[in-house]
Amino acid sequence: GAGVSQTPSNKVTEKGKYVELRCDPISGHTALYWYRQSLGQGPEFLIYFQGTGAADDSGLPNDRFFAVRPEGSVSTLKIQRTERGDSAVYLCASSYRGRREAFFGQGTRLTVV
Amino acid sequence: QKEVEQNSGPLSVPEGAIASLNCTYSDRVSQSFFWYRQYSGKSPELIMSIYSNGDKEDGRFTAQLNKASQYVSLLIRDSQPSDSATYLCAVILMNRDDKIIFGKGTRLHILP
């Protein structure tokens, strides 16, 4: 596609449920980033993929969060046993190479009730 | 010291004036620096990238980089009300596996 695509745009889930957020990067982009953004804050780094492997997952807040990118393209961020504190906008970005500018999708707004 | 620091603002600038946004970073060997604009309720949009010391101009925007001082800035000339947004500074941390880290952003308000 022409840009980074994230689905769903909005997700409301109950506390304790499992959610999956999907990111489809720009075609040919090898690097893929996940960020979380709360109101009034900058994007908080979660995980970064180069190809299929996670180059850096140091931003994942705990073991309830996990992300995969099995074929080096689409990525899925998975959150188990969701908590109200997980409510935020989850942003995905991709770049052609790991050292160049990244372009964002429209984000997924996750609300845990 | 935080990895990327910005004054949160809000910064209020009269229409037509120059808006100056500043950012400092902690990684001495960083080589890649970006400015993103984010409107309320939208995702960040890349507006400038800079890799070498000095100035880089693109239309009304000028990015300035000083690696010795670990400082990057964004100037917006002839500010317009449509420039009102949050501006995010981003740095690729070469000592942290090349991940892109963002500052908290500076809210800019252009006064008509």
**Chain A touched by B100 (CB under 8 Å):** yes
pLDDT per residue rounded down to tens, chain B (112 residues): 678 999 988 999 999 999 999 999 998 888 899 999 999 999 999 999 999 999 999 999 999 999 999 999 999 999 999 999 999 999 997 766 678 999 999 999 999 9
CB contact under 8 A, A45 and B105: no
Q: Which H/E stretch holds residue B101?
A: strand B99-102
Residue of B nearest to A97 (CA): B98
A47-62 residue pLDDT tens: 999 999 998 999 999 9
Report the distance separating Cα A40 and Cα B106, nearest Å: 10
**Residues 6 or more apart in contact with residue A69 via CB below 8 angstroms:** A32, A49, A51, A52, A53, A54, A75, A76
Q: Tokens in use for A78?
A: 């998975």
Question: Sign of the CA dihedral A69, B2, B57, B31?
Answer: negative
CB contact under 8 A, A102 and B99: no
